[in-house]
A and B are shown apart, each in its own frame.
Chain A
Amino acid sequence: MAAPDKVTDLTSAVATHVRDGMTVALEGFGHLIPFAAGHEIIRQGRRELTFCRMTPDLLADQMIAAGCVSKLVASFFASGSAGSLHEVRRRVESADPEPLEVEEYSHYGMVCRYQAGAAGLPFFPLRSYAGSDLPKLNPLIRKVADPYGGPDIYVVPPLRPDVTILHAQRADRSGNVQMWGIVGAQQEAAYAAETVIVTVEEIVEEDVVRSDPNRTVLPAHAVTAVVECPGGAHPSYTQGHYDRDNAFYREWTPISRDPEAVLGWLDEWVHQVPDRAAYLAKLGAERWSGLAVAPRPSQPVDFGRRRVAAQGAS
């Protein structure tokens, strides 16, 4: 029996699986950030989401400004080289235009939450937070006794998103997802979730996946829907496909300072654009080709193959 075909389009995937009030994780640590999927959530007008992302990045600025998010679960509140996320700051510092609930951890605290969620554990211990004010800020960071007699240790609760959305280089039609470069905590974030949507640069034949099984970060059993979405991580990047649009990140800072400018940008680049193909067309061939990378292929590895005839001889 053939494996079920999980390929769909982004509009359907978001319409089917992302509903108001859900806890939604969009992960990718500076790499493979699922911008196209975030923009589709904005276009479909989702509300009251609990948005989970270790480094919110300017994707958080955009989704919060669009009114999709009532709560942010995160561990860093800036945008790499581009500096502050002003939409986040306005809401936190002056509740403008409305307050934003924030649940805050350190990076490893968030990683441990995904690990606990992915492994079905009640909590996860880590050697951080002793002496820190973070447990006072976030009472979900708790201290427990070591049952084996060691010192007390802090633990974090599992994070179990209703939906985790990722971007990757490639997948086959049944949903085996392959990824390379920085893989962050994507495997954990996916296994922690009820439903997993993955956008990919290309859908490939099953033989391609099976030629290199160690490259598979998510087997098909962990994936609900696959969407072919070239350029789906812009302005972040996809290793081996296109580089980070650093100019865009710098351009965002002045936009982000002005609430009207943010809404204007969302109107022009999200609401008035039907999908990622149209977004890339609007971006223009010149800008896109400026992000092209030169090839640097890995050396193929040999998985070998059992010599069936020789074995069968006995």
Chain B
Amino acid sequence: MSTSLSDVAPSSTEFLAAVAARQLAGKRRVFAGVGLPTLAVDLARRTLDPDVELVYESGICGAQPEGLAEGIADSVLVSGAAAVLSMPALFSYVLQRGHVDVGFLGAAQIDRWGSLNTSFIGDWDRPTVRLPGAGGAAEIMPNAGECIVVLRRHDPGALPAELDFCTSPSPVRAHEEDPRMVPPGHGVSTVITPMAVLRRPEKLGELEISEVHPGLTVDDVRAATGWEIAVAEDVRETARPTVEEVRLLREEIDTVRLYLR
């Protein structure tokens, strides 16, 4: 592959998808949602490993879509898949039993321990915004080997000191409730934002700034985060997507610009 670097903006979907795709190196079975994760997994299959297996909460395992899926229940994911399981089988045997290496999640808010809010902004009884709720995220978080979160914003509203609501808890919160109830999964390992890549190396630890996108400084990222965020010892600049990665995204993966914006 060409190693020449593109000049796409760090806030662009191309940038985020390419950074997300690289996190899948060495991973076998990925639980993918709709949108940007779909692009990242497709890109990873073309650039890293064609055998990355895609699992969807709709019950599909080993999807080989002939076109870009519009949603996790799209018929193109079914035709040619290795298996379509019932949802009880998918959630209990595949996910809860520990067969998923990586889960991709989105969120409106994430806190320092990697707990996610996808339910409410504001008061629970009369929210300012009613968000989509748990879906399968409350299952993916405890049961996937690790979770990668992609955020479209990086500001103190999206990364607050305290969540308005905790939909999908970090193992840290499970531990606070009862140390015996700590789930098998690591929880959030990596957060990709328009400013930085944050990592959480310890299962019961906090997020730290690991990579800062080109043109930004560690102080920029700290100022945009709602708590005193830790900084890794060896912060690097995030590697830009290559020209080839951007070409694949635009010309082969999302030719109709369904998710690329």
Where the two chains meet, the residues of A that have a C-beta atom closer than 8 Å to any C-beta of B are: 29-31, 55, 74-78, 80-81, 88-89, 92-95, 104-109, 111, 115, 126-134, 137, 151-153, 180-185, 187-188, 237, 239, 243-244, 246, 293, 296
| A-chain residues with CB within 8 Å of residue B173 when the two chains form the complex | 130-132
Cβ of A117 to closest chain B Cβ, rounded Å: 12
| A-chain residues with CB within 8 Å of residue B182 when the two chains form the complex | 130
Beta-carbon contact of A182 and B73 below 8 Å: yes
**A93-B127, A132-B166, A244-B74 known; A106+B138 contact, CB < 8 A:** yes
Docked pose: A107 CA to B126 CA in angstroms: 23
B87 an interface residue at 8 Å Cβ cutoff? yes
Tell which of A29, A188, A244 touches B58, judged by Cβ atoms closer than 8 Å. A29
Tell which of A78, A151, A184, A239 touches B132, judged by Cβ atoms closer than 8 Å. A78
Beta-carbon contact of A127 and B142 below 8 Å: yes
Tell which of A76, A128, A152 touches B142, judged by Cβ atoms closer than 8 Å. A128
| A-chain residues with CB within 8 Å of residue B143 when the two chains form the complex | 127
Docked pose: A126 CA to B130 CA in angstroms: 25
Find the residue from A80, A132, A188, A239 having the highest chain B CB count within 10 A. A132
- Specify the chain B residue showing the minimal Cβ separation from A183: B86
B214 an interface residue at 8 Å Cβ cutoff? no
| B-chain residues with CB within 8 Å of residue A92 when the two chains form the complex | 127, 130
Tell which of B70, B128, B131, B169 touches A132, judged by Cβ atoms closer than 8 Å. B169
- Specify the chain A residue showing the minimal Cβ separation from B71: A80
Looking at chain B's contact residues, the main secondary structure is: loop
Tell which of B72, B115, B169, B171 touches A30, judged by Cβ atoms closer than 8 Å. B72
| B-chain residues with CB within 8 Å of residue A29 when the two chains form the complex | 58-59, 73, 87
Besides A134-B119, A244-B75, 13 new A-B residue pairs in contact (Cβ under 8 A), listed by A number: A76-B133, A80-B71, A81-B34, A88-B130, A104-B133, A106-B136, A108-B91, A111-B88, A111-B91, A130-B169, A133-B167, A182-B58, A293-B75
B158 an interface residue at 8 Å Cβ cutoff? no
Nearest 6 pairs of A and B residues by beta carbon: A30-B73, A131-B173, A131-B169, A151-B180, A106-B138, A106-B134
Beta-carbon contact of B181 and A75 below 8 Å: no
Tell which of A108, A152, A246 touches B136, judged by Cβ atoms closer than 8 Å. A108
Binary flags per residue of B131-174, CB closer than 8 Å to A gives 1, else 0: 11111111100110000000000000000000001111111111
Docked pose: A244 CA to B71 CA in angstroms: 10
Binary flags per residue of B163-207, CB closer than 8 Å to A gives 1, else 0: 001111111111111101111000000000000000000000000
Find the residue from A92, A134, A151 having the highest chain B CB count within 10 A. A134
Cβ of A248 to closest chain B Cβ, rounded Å: 12
